[in-house]
Amino acid sequence: MSEHVSDSAEWQVLQGHAEKFSAVHLRELFGSEPGRGERLTATVADLTVDYSKNLVTDEVLTALIALGEKAKLRERIAAMFAGEHINVTEDRAVLHTALRLPRTAKLVVDGQDVVADVHEVLGRMGAFSDKVRSGEWKGHTGQRIRTIVNIGIGGSDLGPVMAYEALQAYKSREIQCRFVSNIDPTDLHLKTHDLDPATTLFVVVSKTFTTQETLTNAKEARSWLLQGLGGDQAAVAKHFVAVSTNAQKVADFGIDTDNMFGFWDWVGGRYSLPSAVGLSVMIAIGKEQFAELLGGYHAVDEHFRTAPLESNVPALLGLINVWYDTFLGAQSHAILPYSQYLHRFAAYLQQLTMESNGKSVRLDGSPVSFQTGEVFWGEPGTNGQHAFYQLIHQGTKLIPADFIGFAQPNHDIGEMHDLFMSNFLAQTRALAFGRTLDEVEAEGADKKVAPHRVMQGNHPTTTIVAEKLTPAVLGQLIALYEHITFTQGTVWQINSFDQWGVELGKVMANQLAPKLTAPGAAAGDDDSSTNSLVQWYRTARGR
């Protein structure tokens, strides 16, 4: 890449704004413009996004949009949607947006009709999930399936489990799903010990089908199944299906490729929920509601693809994140859904955002000279209020926070929901405007205690609301964050679609495994810390 965005005049303008910015307070921004709240609220599909409580002036927003133009954000969006190989380190297209294209759309990439491929797999998934849901699909002993155990990790786990939890109100009562990811055998034990193998279906999900955790769990699960069903190998075909891009490895494992649902190398693991990776979710909610989820994604995709940067919601939010991270020095970003259904959403976004943008070299291989990525974290409200909000309210750190809430509760305990949502609204207000010393003293507080009760305010938040958490709205929310992440990566000129940083630990784990287990193996050729920890483990395990 010839030119670095961080060397541009547009970048310097923002640095200049950042230097002056400590003097700006949200109290003044709202005081000087009574209509700020309405003006800085945008809609995208069914989502309403109020970004007025962010630490931005119109000058900063204009400068951020100019930075987006400088980074050729619009061209990069077009390149992604068209299937150009923007994942340069793996020489791949990045086409998760194609997974949610309607059947009538046209997209040919590298000579392949992508839409036809996507809908062929969706059709097979739909037929299979219908059979499992209706009970037509029988286990080895002739009983219907009651429990799906999804075995996968990273993108092959976090999306499905997050969406399954989020869409509890839409799932079949006949079937439950469980999710096994960790190679800690406790995970598999806890999820299977009370199950009947005769009514259990394992969905083994792995893009590569080489992931140690998933294959190890799947092997254990197969032994558990065979032991429970009398050892007949034929049982595997009725109780194991695979989701992967790697048919050969699936066959090697012993799963019939007739029972495999494929996807493609242009789907990154952390973007894969709308592919066959979402099979367990489709079984839970049915193919029609899964189609609504995809439709929700697509509505936000279309907005991101076509809207000018000034009114492009994911682009604006991504640029505002760049403002915080790179120019104002924020280190983290809180995700605070006021919905128990979204209790795994922050965990999901951790992989999406941190695996995508935790990079320190640009696309051209040069080291970045600024901060990239954010530590994403959070818990559903109001639990967080009674735990870590103190640090956001009165601590010294800059923590932009996203508040996500819904008007309708998805159940009929409505009055409690009103109280819940009043907390949701109160928090962003308290964070923005705080409470001054004068106000504290006017309330008659003791002089000594008064400074401790001051709330400085000026803590930025974005409020994202929708009428109800539906499958479509969930798709919209996920696509919103995918495109926010893309926007940030584009400005930083990094590759948001590879993940080389996770490789070294995997290699080292494979090297260390024999030292932990082989009788008499020497544990002396690593660093002194690792050597003594290996020794400790061997001694503790009597080896």
Ligand X SMILES: O=P(O)(O)OC[C@H]1O[C@H](O)[C@H](O)[C@@H](O)[C@@H]1O
Please identify every residue annotated as catalytic. Answer: 355, 386, 506
Burial of 213 (0-12, 13-18, 19+ CB in 10 A): buried
Q: Which stretch binds ligand X (CB under 6 A): 54-62, 208-216, 388-396, 422-430?
A: 208-216
Would you say 97 or 181 has its CB closer to ligand X? Answer: 181
Residues 6+ apart with CB under 8 A from 504: none
Q: How far apart are CA 426 and CA 419, in angstroms?
A: 11
Would you say 87 or 499 has its CB closer to ligand X? Answer: 499
Would you say 105 or 502 has its CB closer to ligand X? Answer: 502
**208 is an interface residue for ligand X by CB under 6 A:** yes
DSSP-assigned states of every residue in 191-213:
HHTT--GGGEEEEEE-SSS--HH
Q: How far is the CB of 510 from ligand X (least distance, A)?
A: 13
**Tokens (6 digits) for 9:** 């005049």
Q: Which stretch binds ligand X (CB under 6 A): 32-40, 120-128, 151-159, 278-286?
A: 151-159
**156 is an interface residue for ligand X by CB under 6 A:** yes
Q: How far apart are CA 215 and CA 213, in angstroms?
A: 6
Q: Residue from 214, 280, 321, 490 that binds ligand X (CB under 6 A)? A: 214
Report the site for ligand X in 257-296 (rule: CB under 6 A).
269-270
Would you say 320 or 349 has its CB closer to ligand X? Answer: 349
Residues 6+ apart with CB under 8 A from 383: none
Q: Which stretch binds ligand X (CB under 6 A): 201-209, 364-372, 473-481, 527-535?
A: 201-209
Residues 6+ apart with CB under 8 A from 27: 432, 433, 434, 457, 458
In the three-class reduction of DSSP (H, G, I as helix; E, B as strand; rest coil), residue 465 is classed as strand
Q: Which stretch binds ligand X (CB under 6 A): 12-20, 200-208, 287-295, 401-409?
A: 200-208
Q: How far is the CB of 130 from ligand X (least distance, A)?
A: 25
Q: Residue from 155, 318, 337, 434 that binds ligand X (CB under 6 A)? A: 155
**509 is an interface residue for ligand X by CB under 6 A:** no
**211 is an interface residue for ligand X by CB under 6 A:** yes
Q: Residue from 181, 206, 357, 372 that binds ligand X (CB under 6 A)? A: 206
Kindly state the number of chain residues that form the binding site for ligand X, as judged by CB under 6 A. 14
Nearest partner of 502 among 276, 270, 343, 311, judged by Cα: 270
Q: How far apart are CA 272 and CA 157, in angstroms?
A: 10
In the three-class reduction of DSSP (H, G, I as helix; E, B as strand; rest coil), residue 150 is classed as strand
Would you say 147 or 356 has its CB closer to ligand X? Answer: 356
Q: Residue from 154, 296, 380, 384 that binds ligand X (CB under 6 A)? A: 154
Report the site for ligand X in 344-363 (rule: CB under 6 A).
355
DSSP-assigned states of every residue in 328-344:
S---EEEEEEE-GGGTT
Q: Which stretch binds ligand X (CB under 6 A): 97-105, 138-146, 206-214, 436-444?
A: 206-214
**417 is an interface residue for ligand X by CB under 6 A:** no
Would you say 153 or 285 has its CB closer to ligand X? Answer: 153
- For residue 58, what is the enclosing H or E element? helix 58-70
Q: Where are the beta strands (DSSP E) in 252-366?
A: 260-262, 332-338
In the three-class reduction of DSSP (H, G, I as helix; E, B as strand; rest coil), residue 375 is classed as strand
DSSP letter, residue 455: B
Which positions lie near ligand X, rule CB under 6 A? 153-156, 206-208, 211, 214, 269-270, 355, 499, 502
